[in-house]
Structure 1
C-alpha cells in the first residue's frame, strides 16, 4: 500500500539528500538565510527578472544510497556447443534476485559550464562516480545444471565499479529554480566473477573478467539556489550501456558442461542528490514573499494556480536481531530511497467552481520493498515502487462551493487552491479522484510525511483502513458542511477489488467505502490557543477473507497454506472502525497531538496497514527560541496491536498488506520518532529523522530496529 503521503493529501513539497549532505547543509543554513547580495528590497524586486542567472562554471558532489539500480542481461549464451536461454540478474527490488538484501551506494564529482539566454539555460557537464552496484545470477537459472541444489548460490556476480558521463544540458530558470534535461555519452567499468563448482570435488575455481561498457544517458533534474554560490539539486538518469562482445566466463563442469560464453548488456536507473558550487556567483531574484503582494481577483492569473513539489527520502536501517526471515520481513542493514515530483494545477471555472489536476512522477522503494513494519517507517514509500520514474495522474477533481452568506474569508493561492474569497458557512462538494487524507484525519502537527513525521502510525490513524489503490488514491464524492465552530464531512468512494490491489472496483453500488467525520474547533480558555478534535467513522465493503475462518480451515487440514485459504474464501465482507484525532496549540511555537483508532479486526485489512488498534501522540516545537522560527522539532510515539484472530493468521504463516514473518511470537509493535526540519529557505527544507521500532511486525523474536533518514523537500 502507498505511503499515506497521497492518502494524507500532503499538498506541500519536498526532496531529500544523504545524511552527510544534510549535516553539511545544517552548517550552511545560516548563510542561506543571511545571504543578501542579490536580494533587493521589495520595491526593487518588482523591476527585476523573475528568474536567476545560472551562467558560468560550477563543480560539485553527487551521490545516493539505495536509489541506484542496475540490470545485467546475458544473451547468446553457449555452454560448449549447447545454447543457454537468455537470463537477467534482476533489478535489486528482490523480485528476481537477492537484491532485497543489498544496498547500492553511488557517489562522485561533477563539473560543467552553462550559458544563458533569458530564462533558457544550456551547457555541458561531465562526472565520474564510484559505486558498489552488485548483481548475482542465481544457481536456479536454467541451463547450468545446478537448479536442484539447495540452498541456491550465485554462479555469477556482476559488479560495477565506476560510472562516467559527458552530457549536454538544456534547462529553464524560474525564481531560484533551474529545471533541465540532459543527454549524452555514458560509460562504466564492470567486473564479472563466475563460480561453477564441480560436485565431485570440493574446489570451485573462480574466474574474473573486466569489461568497459559505453552507451548513452538520458536524464532530468532540478536545482535550487540556496545562496549566491551554492545550489541543491536532484537528478534522475537512465543509462543504457550497450551490449558487449562475446565474453569467456569460465567452464561449467560435468558431462553436459563446457566453456561458458555470452554477450552481456547493462542498463541502470539512478537518482542522485547534488550539491553545486558556483565560484563566480549566481544572480538571484528575490524570494517570492519579497515581491509585491498577490491581490485576489484582479487578473487572469487569479483564476489559475500552478505549484509543484519534489521530495527525496533516503532511509537506512542498522543491524538488529533477526533469527529468521519471512516473505515480508524487514531485512537488516540496508538503505533505500524514494523520490516524488508533483505538479498542482488549478483552474477557477466560475466564482464557485474549481478544477484541479495533479500529475506526478514517483520512483524508488521503501526498505524491504515497503514491508516488515506494520506502522511503516517512510510515508513516501509505496508497494507500487519502481527503479525508474513512473508517471501517474494522482488527482483530478472538481470542487463546487455553495456559499450560505454571512462572514467571508480570503483564501490565498496555494497547492490545489486557487486564490478566492468564500463564505465561512458553506457547503462544498468534491467529485473525482483524490486521497481521503486530503479531507479526513488531518492534523496540523502530524499529517504530512513530506515535512513532518514519517511513521505511518504517527501521521495517520493506524487502524483507519481508508480505501485506496496502491499509490493511495480513490475515486468518489466528498460533501462538507462548514461553519466557524465545526465542520462535518462525508465521502463515499470506490474500494480496491481485494487487499493490496491496484484496481478499484467499479461496482460502486454494491461495494464501496463510507467515511464520516465531525471536526470541532475551539480556543482553550487560559491558553487562548486554537485546537481541534476530529471524530471519524468508517465502513468498507469489499472482497476479503475472514481471519478466524482461514485459520480454522488451515489448522483443520483443508489447506496447506493459509494464504491459499484466504484467496479461496474471499467474498464481499464489511470492515468498520473509528478514530479520534486531537491537536492543540499550547503556545504559538508549541503544540501537541494525539490519535486513537480501532477497527473490528475480523476481516482482512484492505488498503492501508496491518493494524487493528492504535494509539499515538507527540509534540511539535518551532525554533523561535533559538533564532530559527521556521525550523521544526517533532517527537512522537505509537503503539499498535492486532485482534486475536488477526494474530493467529500471522502465526500460521499469513501474509498481510505489509507484514508477514512466516511465524509470530506476538507482542505489540511500539515505535518512537524524532525529527528536526531545517528550513534553508522559504521553499527548501532538509530534515534529519530517527525512529526506533520494537517488535517490528508484532514479533518479539525480531528487533528492536533503528532507522535513520534524511529528507529534502522543495516547494515551487
Structure 2
C-alpha cells in the first residue's frame, strides 16, 4: 500500500525586520555655471539609491541538497519485433522512487556579468555543475515480461554526470535584493546502462550507451547582498533537453528476447543555493529604517519571504524497512516563496491574500519520523515549483473603546491603530497555527526550531489540508491581560487528504484557546500561558476495530481494514503552552499535549501525547544581538491501540515500518541563526532522534541541515 504523505501545519507569518520595498529612481541635475556671488538657491544633491548596484562581473559556487529532479523518458522501445509501452523514470510512482531513494545532488561553479540602469538589470551567465542524478528501472517494468525474481537484474539504469547552461538574465533590484528571470541554452550528458537476465543460460548481459543533450532552460531566482563583495541566493531553472535519436541497447538473451532499441528524452527541475563573489564590489544602499512602515493612513501592505532548507541524514541501524520508513544516506531540500498582500477596505476591515510557490521534499518524502525534522516539508511535496493560494481571508475588528495601540505594517497586517479591548473575526482560508498554539521562541520553522514535536504541540491534530491550511471562521476577544479565541473549520475528507470535507455541519473541527499574559515579579519579564482544547469529527478508522478485524482474518492487510471501516469519528485533546522571558535575551518554553488516541489522526502527525521544551538565547553577550541560538527537546508517544496498529503493519500519516518494537520517540535539536543583515538569516541545524517512528529496532538517527531565510 502506498504510504499517505503529510505536510502538517503552516507556520505563522513572521514580521520582517527589513523595511518595505523602496525604489528611488529620480535624480536632480547639478547646478551649472554657479559662482560665489550666485544668489540662486542650490538644487539638492541626488539621494542615495535605495537598492544595490549589481553591475560588474561575479563568480560563485552553487549546490542542491537533493532538490534537483529529472525525468528520463523512453519512447518507442522495441525488443525484437515487439513494441514495449513507453515509460518514464520520473512519473507517477517512478517520481516517488526518484525522490525517496535516488541521489539527486547537483553542484558546481558559475560566473557572469551584469549591467544595471536604475533598478533594472540585464546580464549573461554561464555555469557548469557536476550531478549525481540517477534512476534504475526494475526488470519487472510493465511490458518487458520479466519477473522481478532477482533484484540484481535492473533492466535499464540512467545517470547524468554534468549539466551546463548559458543564460541571459533580466532583473529588478530593491533594497539589498535582486529578483530575476533567466533563459538560454542548456546541455547535459547521460549514460544508459542496460542489464538483461539471460533466461536460458543464467547470468546477465550488459549494454551501454553514452548520450549528449542540448536544449533550453527557463528559470528565476532571488539573491541578497550580504556585504560589499558577497551575496547569497536561490536559483530555480527548468531544463528541457529534448530527445535523442533512436539508439540500440544490445539484445536480450533467452526466450522472448531480441535486439533492443529506443529513444530517450530528458527534462529536469533544479533548485540551488548560490554563493557569489563580486570582486569589483557592490554599491550598497544605506541601511533602511523600520519607522517608514508605520503610516496609519496607508491602505496597502506588500511583503514577501523565501526559505531554502537543505537537510541530510547519514546511515543508521535499520534491520528492516517498511513502506513509510526513514531511509539513510540521503540529502533533500525544500524551497518556499510567499507574497503577503493586504488591502484595508474600510477602517477595521482588511482583506489578505497569500500566493506561495513551493518545491522539494522532506527526507524520505517526509516519512519515517513522527516528530518530523523539517517544518518546511509540510509546505512542499513537488519536484517543480507549485503555486498555491494558501491564504485568502477577511479580518474584521470591532473596537470596544479604551486604550489603543499602533500596529506596524507587516506580513498580513496593514499598519493601523486599534483598541486593545476588541473583538476580531477572521473568515476565509488560513492556518490555525496563525492564531493557536503560538510561542515566541518555538513556532516558526523558517527562523527557529524545525522539529514538528518542538515548534508545535505534537498531539494537537488541528484541521488542515496537506500544506497545512483550512477554511472556516475564527473569533477572538482580546484584552491587555488575556485573550480568548475559538475557530470552527473544515477537516480533510480523509486522513492526510488535500481535499477539505464540504460537510462542515457534520464533519468539522473546533479549537478553543485561552491565553493569559503576565509579568513575573521576580524576573520582571513578560510571559504567556496558553491552554487549548480541540475536538474534530472526521472520516477515520478505529484502531482497536481494524486490529481485531485483521487478526480475525477478515482482512489480509490492516491498511485495507482501515480504509474499509472509516466513518465519522471524533478525536478530542488539549495542549498547554508556556513561554517565559528570563532576561531580555534569554527565554524558555514548554509544551504538553495529548489526545484520546482511539482513531486515526486527520491532519498533523502520528502523535497521541507529547512533551517538549527548550531555551532561546540572543547573541548580545558575544556582540551579535540579532543572532539566536536554540536548544530544544521533545518526547512523543502513542496509545496502546495505536501501537497495535503499527505492530500489525499499519501505515500512518508519516510512519509505518511494517512492524514495531515500541519505545517513545525522543528528539534533541539545536540551531544557530546567523543574521547577516536585516533581511537575510542563515541557520545551521542539528537534530538527534532516538527510536524514530517509536521503533527501538531503528536508529538513533542524526540530521544535519542548513537554512537560508529572507524576508522584506
Deviations, residues 32-77 of structure 1 (Å, cap 9, x unaligned): xxxxxxxxxxxx9993222221121111111112111111011111
Offset at 1:145? 2.9
After TM superposition, the structure 1 = structure 2 runs for residues 67-106 of structure 1, keeping only pairs within 5 Å, are 67-90=67-90, 95=95, 97=97, 100-106=100-106
Q: Aligned partners of 2:322, 2:702: CA distance in 1, in Å?
A: 19
Deviations, residues 13-46 of structure 1 (Å, cap 9, x unaligned): 79xxxxxxxxxxxxxxxxxxxxxxxxxxxxx999
After TM superposition, the structure 1 = structure 2 runs for residues 252-271 of structure 1, keeping only pairs within 5 Å, are 252-271=252-271
Offset at 1:602? 0.5
- Cα 1:67–1:586, aligned 2, differ >3 Å: closer, same or farther? same
1:303 aligns with 2:299: yes
Q: For residue 211 of structure 2, what is the aligned residue in structure 1? A: 211
Q: Aligned partners of 1:9, 1:93: CA distance in 2, in Å?
A: 33
Q: Aligned partners of 1:417, 1:330: CA distance in 2, in Å?
A: 39
Q: For residue 650 of structure 1, what is the aligned residue in structure 2? A: 646
Q: Aligned partners of 2:45, 2:541: CA distance in 1, in Å?
A: 62
After TM superposition, the structure 1 = structure 2 runs for residues 169-568 of structure 1, keeping only pairs within 5 Å, are 169-289=169-289, 293-298=292-297, 302-382=298-378, 385-568=381-564
- Cα 1:457–1:514, aligned 2, differ >3 Å: closer, same or farther? same
Deviations, residues 507-539 of structure 1 (Å, cap 9, x unaligned): 111111000000000000110000000000000
Q: For residue 594 of structure 1, what is the aligned residue in structure 2? A: 590
Q: Are the aligned partners of 1:5 and 1:449 in contact in 2 as well (CA < 8 Å)?
A: no
Q: Are the aligned partners of 1:92 and 1:102 in contact in 2 as well (CA < 8 Å)?
A: no
Q: For residue 161 of structure 1, what is the aligned residue in structure 2? A: 161
Deviations, residues 332-361 of structure 1 (Å, cap 9, x unaligned): 111110000000001111121111100000
Q: Aligned partners of 1:383, 1:624: CA distance in 2, in Å?
A: 33
| Alignment counterpart, residue 691 of structure 2, candidates 695, 709, 712 | 695
Q: Are the aligned partners of 1:91 and 1:99 in contact in 2 as well (CA < 8 Å)?
A: no
Offset at 1:9? 1.9
Q: Are the aligned partners of 1:365 and 1:383 in contact in 2 as well (CA < 8 Å)?
A: no
Q: Are the aligned partners of 1:638 and 1:671 in contact in 2 as well (CA < 8 Å)?
A: yes
Q: For residue 21 of structure 2, what is the aligned residue in structure 1? A: none
Q: For residue 63 of structure 1, what is the aligned residue in structure 2? A: 63
Q: Are the aligned partners of 1:13 and 1:713 in contact in 2 as well (CA < 8 Å)?
A: no
What's the secondary structure of 1:48's corresponding residue?
coil
Q: For residue 113 of structure 1, what is the aligned residue in structure 2? A: 113
Offset at 1:142? 2.6
- Unmatched 5+ stretches in structure 1: 15-43
> Which has the larger displacement, 550-559 or 92-101?
92-101
Q: For residue 128 of structure 2, what is the aligned residue in structure 1? A: 128
Q: Aligned partners of 1:250, 1:203: CA distance in 2, in Å?
A: 16
What's the secondary structure of 1:132's corresponding residue?
strand
- Cα 1:95–1:61, aligned 2, differ >3 Å: closer, same or farther? closer
Deviations, residues 577-622 of structure 1 (Å, cap 9, x unaligned): 0000000000001000000000000011000010000000000011
1:9 aligns with 2:12: yes
- Cα 1:158–1:196, aligned 2, differ >3 Å: closer, same or farther? same
Q: Aligned partners of 2:96, 2:401: CA distance in 1, in Å?
A: 61
- Cα 1:562–1:12, aligned 2, differ >3 Å: closer, same or farther? farther
Q: Are the aligned partners of 2:154 and 2:196 in contact in 1 as well (CA < 8 Å)?
A: no
Q: For residue 40 of structure 1, what is the aligned residue in structure 2? A: none
What's the secondary structure of 2:505's corresponding residue?
coil
Q: Are the aligned partners of 2:8 and 2:605 in contact in 1 as well (CA < 8 Å)?
A: no
Q: Aligned partners of 1:96, 1:412: CA distance in 2, in Å?
A: 44
Q: Are the aligned partners of 1:92 and 1:100 in contact in 2 as well (CA < 8 Å)?
A: no
Q: Aligned partners of 1:103, 1:377: CA distance in 2, in Å?
A: 19
> Which has the larger displacement, 85-94 or 467-476?
85-94
Q: Aligned partners of 1:2, 1:45: CA distance in 2, in Å?
A: 57
Offset at 1:80? 1.8
| Alignment counterpart, residue 573 of structure 1, candidates 563, 569, 579 | 569
Q: Aligned partners of 1:91, 1:75: CA distance in 2, in Å?
A: 14
1:609 aligns with 2:609: no
Offset at 1:147? 3.0
- Cα 1:641–1:442, aligned 2, differ >3 Å: closer, same or farther? same
Q: Are the aligned partners of 1:489 and 1:516 in contact in 2 as well (CA < 8 Å)?
A: yes
Q: For residue 24 of structure 1, what is the aligned residue in structure 2? A: none
Q: For residue 36 of structure 1, what is the aligned residue in structure 2? A: none
Q: Are the aligned partners of 2:470 and 2:489 in contact in 1 as well (CA < 8 Å)?
A: yes
What's the secondary structure of 2:259's corresponding residue?
strand
Offset at 1:99? 5.1
- Unmatched 5+ stretches in structure 2: 18-43
Offset at 1:85? 1.1
Q: For residue 54 of structure 1, what is the aligned residue in structure 2? A: 54
Q: Aligned partners of 1:248, 1:517: CA distance in 2, in Å?
A: 67
Offset at 1:456? 0.2
Offset at 1:12? 5.3
Q: Are the aligned partners of 2:294 and 2:408 in contact in 1 as well (CA < 8 Å)?
A: no
- Cα 1:75–1:111, aligned 2, differ >3 Å: closer, same or farther? same
Q: Are the aligned partners of 1:144 and 1:252 in contact in 2 as well (CA < 8 Å)?
A: no
Q: Aligned partners of 2:566, 2:267: CA distance in 1, in Å?
A: 41
What's the secondary structure of 1:335's corresponding residue?
strand
> Which has the larger displacement, 254-263 or 481-490?
254-263
Offset at 1:150? 4.5
- Cα 1:95–1:421, aligned 2, differ >3 Å: closer, same or farther? same
Q: Are the aligned partners of 2:518 and 2:527 in contact in 1 as well (CA < 8 Å)?
A: yes
Q: For residue 39 of structure 1, what is the aligned residue in structure 2? A: none
Q: Are the aligned partners of 1:65 and 1:103 in contact in 2 as well (CA < 8 Å)?
A: no
Deviations, residues 241-270 of structure 1 (Å, cap 9, x unaligned): 110001111211123211111010001110
Q: Aligned partners of 1:90, 1:543: CA distance in 2, in Å?
A: 32
> Which has the larger displacement, 456-465 or 127-136?
127-136
Q: Aligned partners of 2:418, 2:204: CA distance in 1, in Å?
A: 76
Q: For residue 26 of structure 2, what is the aligned residue in structure 1? A: none
- Cα 1:368–1:585, aligned 2, differ >3 Å: closer, same or farther? same
Q: Aligned partners of 1:167, 1:693: CA distance in 2, in Å?
A: 43
> Which has the larger displacement, 506-515 or 471-480?
506-515
Q: Are the aligned partners of 2:494 and 2:602 in contact in 1 as well (CA < 8 Å)?
A: yes
TM-score scaled by structure 2? 0.93
Q: Aligned partners of 1:93, 1:529: CA distance in 2, in Å?
A: 54
1:630 aligns with 2:626: yes
Q: Are the aligned partners of 1:71 and 1:89 in contact in 2 as well (CA < 8 Å)?
A: yes
Q: Aligned partners of 1:354, 1:531: CA distance in 2, in Å?
A: 29
What's the secondary structure of 2:378's corresponding residue?
coil
Deviations, residues 640-665 of structure 1 (Å, cap 9, x unaligned): 01001010011111111000111101
Deviations, residues 167-221 of structure 1 (Å, cap 9, x unaligned): 1111111111110111111000111111112133343232222111011101000
- Cα 1:594–1:532, aligned 2, differ >3 Å: closer, same or farther? same
Offset at 1:691? 0.4
